[in-house]
């Protein structure tokens, strides 16, 4: 067994296609199939359900896949650790983040980029539960998530500013004559929302219900990017967090604060507490403490 076999297995899980997995790994499809069969023979297990095409993993394959992810994360962490021992901050910082919060992740990433020019970044949009699981299993170095159900005995936490909201609109399409809005003011605008069941949308529904109003929603998506496209097209306005950089995406965007619009759930940056903790995660978490201390003071 070698690390490449595990990479091939994970690539197959990511692509769900033998040909695409082989292309992702820069090898031929027969080579990928042969190496995975070799792994099956060594373990004495059937890992893949095979037909005319890839049909999924067997129950045993799913269990081995979980170990493969953990081993590959440990392998990557080992390489990053070795580089840090030589004074090099290299590798990949994997950061998970809930879709909408009053945090601009690019402020954090930009400062790390300036400090560690050889470091690469992967930013994933995930639920709080997925982020906690990813950080705890070392598939993510850090995560920005809601802290309602976060066990502080498992994670170190940096508290981030409360999520406050405003109405994001395109000034070419909508003109607002107020500097601050109320929930009742929003009935005058066509609105775009995240899909039902997402944490931010659930809070929106509770806020409107508490205000005793029914919003006029004309657009819904599970993608923040598509909601922003709808705003730019003049299809709708959108209730979005303040201070997360969205209004800087377009010179015609403006976000007008909504009074009494805090999301009660606290948000924070989390890092795995139990060993093994990668030195890369610890280095960037320490930097984040300095960065967000300054950010928090600017919001007070």
Measured at the CA of 91, the angle between CA 90 and CA 96, to 5 degrees, comes to 125
- Strands 191-194 and 217-221, sheet pairing: parallel
Question: What per-residue confidence (pLDDT) applies to 248?
Answer: 84
Question: What per-residue confidence (pLDDT) applies to 114?
Answer: 92
Question: What per-residue confidence (pLDDT) applies to 141?
Answer: 92
Q: Give CA 124 to chain center in angstroms.
A: 3
Alpha carbon distance 203, 267 (integer Å): 14
Q: Give CA 214 to chain center in angstroms.
A: 30
Phi/psi of residue 66, nearest 5 degrees: -60, -40
Burial 219-258 (b: 16+ CB within 10 A, else e): bbeeebeebbebbbeebbbbbbbbbbebbeeeeebbbbeb
Is the bond into 276 cis (omega within 30 degrees of 0)? Answer: yes
Q: What are the per-10-residue average pLDDT scores of the chain (300 residues)?
A: 88 89 91 92 90 86 87 76 73 89 88 91 90 88 90 90 89 89 90 85 84 88 91 94 85 91 83 83 91 61
């Amino acid at each position: 067994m070698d690390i490449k076999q595990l990479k091939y297995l994970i690539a197959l899980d990511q692509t769900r296609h033998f040909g695409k997995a082989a292309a992702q790994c820069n090898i031929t499809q027969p080579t990928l199939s042969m190496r995975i069969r070799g792994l099956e023979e060594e373990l004495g297990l059937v890992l893949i359900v095979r037909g005319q095409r890839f049909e999924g993993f067997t129950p045993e394959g799913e269990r081995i896949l979980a170990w493969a992810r953990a081993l590959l994360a440990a392998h990557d962490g080992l390489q990053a650790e070795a580089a840090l021992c030589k004074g090099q901050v290299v590798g990949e910082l994997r950061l998970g983040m809930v879709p909408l919060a009053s945090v601009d992740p690019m402020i954090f990433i930009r400062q790390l980029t300036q400090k560690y020019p050889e470091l690469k970044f992967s930013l994933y949009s995930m639920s709080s539960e997925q982020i906690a699981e990813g950080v705890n299993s070392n598939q993510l170095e850090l995560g920005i998530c809601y802290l309602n159900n976060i066990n502080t005995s498992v994670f170190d936490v940096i508290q981030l500013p409360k999520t406050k909201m405003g109405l994001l609109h395109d000034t070419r399409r909508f003109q607002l004559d107020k500097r601050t809005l109320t929930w009742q003011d929003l009935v005058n605008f066509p609105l775009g929302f995240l899909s039902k069941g997402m944490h931010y949308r659930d809070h929106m529904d509770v806020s409107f219900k508490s205000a005793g109003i029914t919003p006029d929603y004309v657009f819904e998506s599970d993608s923040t990017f598509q909601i922003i496209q709808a705003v730019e097209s003049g299809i709708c306005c959108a209730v979005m967090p303040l201070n997360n950089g969205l209004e800087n995406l377009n010179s015609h965007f403006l976000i007008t604060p909504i009074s009494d619009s805090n999301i009660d759930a606290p948000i924070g940056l989390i890092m795995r507490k139990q060993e093994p903790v990668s030195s890369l995660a610890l280095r960037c978490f320490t930097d984040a403490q300095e960065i967000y201390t300054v950010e928090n003071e600017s919001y007070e």
